[in-house]
Structures are given as C-alpha cells and as structure tokens.
Structure 1
Amino acid sequence: MASKGEEWVAGYVAAWKSNDPAEIGALFTDDARYFTAPDAEPRVGRDAIVAGWLDDLDEPGSWTFDWHIVHEDGDFVVVQGRTGYPAERDYLNLWIIRLAADGRATEYTEWYMPRPQG
C-alpha cells in the first residue's frame, strides 16, 4: 500500500505530465504555499499555484523524473529526485512537502541543482 507521500508525488508527476489545472489544483489545499526555491516568495493559495505552474510549465515528453521518498513522518515528506531534460541538462531535486490530513499539500518547497555537463 502506498504511503500518503508516495500517492502525493505520483499525483504531482501525473499533473506534471498533463499540465491539467484540475489535476494541479487537486494536489494543494486552498491556502497552500508553494516555494519554487527555499528563499523565493511563495505562491500562496491553490489559484496562484495553478497559475504559476501554467506560466512556467514543462511540455509533456520534454523531461523525465526519477524519485524516491527519503523520509516520511506523518505529514512531513522528503523526496529526492532527478529531472532529466534531454535537450538541456539534468537536475538533482530535493522536495519538502507538508500534507494535510486529506493528503493534499499545505506547503511544498523545492530545491533543484543542475548536474555538471559532461
């Protein structure tokens, strides 16, 4: 049986593939905060999160993503991933997610570091 964190990440990847506003919005609570970097101003609220996602979306098929849960404790989830953009470069990812009781995110913070070309 998948954990809440695994279910959430699977939903995130599905929304990333579809860029469907309903799928994106379903991942977050009404008042969620989405940080595109730890020190960035967050997108606050589901509508702002969906709008920001759609303004900066990745086209389906332009990327790959491998991931695993590093740690999950109740509503706190840490995910490590690797995003490949074959036309560009690869990135190492670290996500910190806080989940509500219903499995939607109340807070999401991402770090992404480019891997050396070579």
Structure 2
Amino acid sequence: MTSLDAVTAWMGNYRKAWESNDPRHIGDLFAEDAAYFTEPYAKPWIGRDTIVEKWLEIKDEPGSTTFDWHPVLITEELAVIEATTTYPNDVYSNLWLLRLDQLGQARQFTEWWMKHPKP
C-alpha cells in the first residue's frame, strides 16, 4: 500500500542504499519478486537478487551526487516522484513510478531520466 509516509520512508532508504552501496540496504528496498525498470521500455531487472547485482554493476560512488525529490502524485497503488540528481559534471531530471507492497518494499519501480543540456 502506497502512502506519503511509506513513500517518504522508501525514498530515505533508497538514498541510504545509493550512498552505501550495501547489498543489504539495496535488497531491503525491493520485494522478492520486484521488477526494476531502469528506463520505461527497457527489459526489467526481476527479483531482489538480480536488482542488487545489477545495481552494484552501475553504482555511483558515495558522496558523488546530490538529490532532491518531491511527490507529484500518491494513490494507494502508485507514487509518482519528481527528482533532480546532480553529479559533478551532469544534472538529470527524474520521474519515477513506484508501487509499494504492504511491507513498504517496491514491487515495481520505473525510472524516467533526462540529462540536462550543458550551458
């Protein structure tokens, strides 16, 4: 079930996992059979173990980003999140679709991201 409190907690844990790259932190975000779409039409990573493995293959180094987010829409079934990720040389706008289960773990997560043009 998705709620503002559940989404806020998940986003805090997502950032914790992002900054630690700890497999346990990453795995705790996702249901056992979760689907993680790194792009809307990409083949998803299916299952917690696969998600952890793939995440660590493309991980960001701790402290290499800043991240701001806010909810756009939250229903019982879906959260839409708008965010900005800033790297040392690039900035991305993000739109995320998040579906949480009763335990507050993602059962489906989809990233839409757009790189900002250089000035």
**Pairwise TM-score range, normalised by the shorter structure:** over 0.9
Q: How many residues align?
A: 116
Structure 1 residue ranges without an equivalent (≥5): none
Matches within 5 A, 1:67-78: 67-78=69-80
Per-residue CA deviation, residues 43-91 of structure 1 (Å, 9 max, x unaligned), is: 00000000000000000111111101111111311110000001x2100
Letter paired with 1:31: D
Aligned-pair RMSD on alpha carbons? 0.8
> TM-score, with normalisation over the residues of structure 1?
0.95
TM-score (norm 2): 0.95
Tell me how far 1:23 sits from its aligned partner.
0.4
Counterparts of 1:29 and 1:104 in 2: how far apart (Å)? 5
Could you tell me which amino acid in structure 1 is paired with residue 92 of structure 2?
Answer: Y
- After superposing on structure 2, the runs of 4+ consecutive aligned residues of structure 1 that deviate more than 6 Å are none
Are residue 91 (structure 1) and residue 100 (structure 2) matched? no
Give the fraction of aligned pairs with identical amino acids, expressed as a percent: 47
Structure 1 match to 2:40: 38
Give the corresponding residue for 1:20: 22
> Using CA pairs below 8 Å that are at least 6 residues apart, which structure has the higher relative contact order?
2
Once residues 8 and 73 of structure 2 are traced to their aligned partners in structure 1, the CA distance between those partners, rounded to angstroms, is 11
Q: Which consecutive residues of structure 2, in runs of 5 or more, have no partner in the other structure? A: none
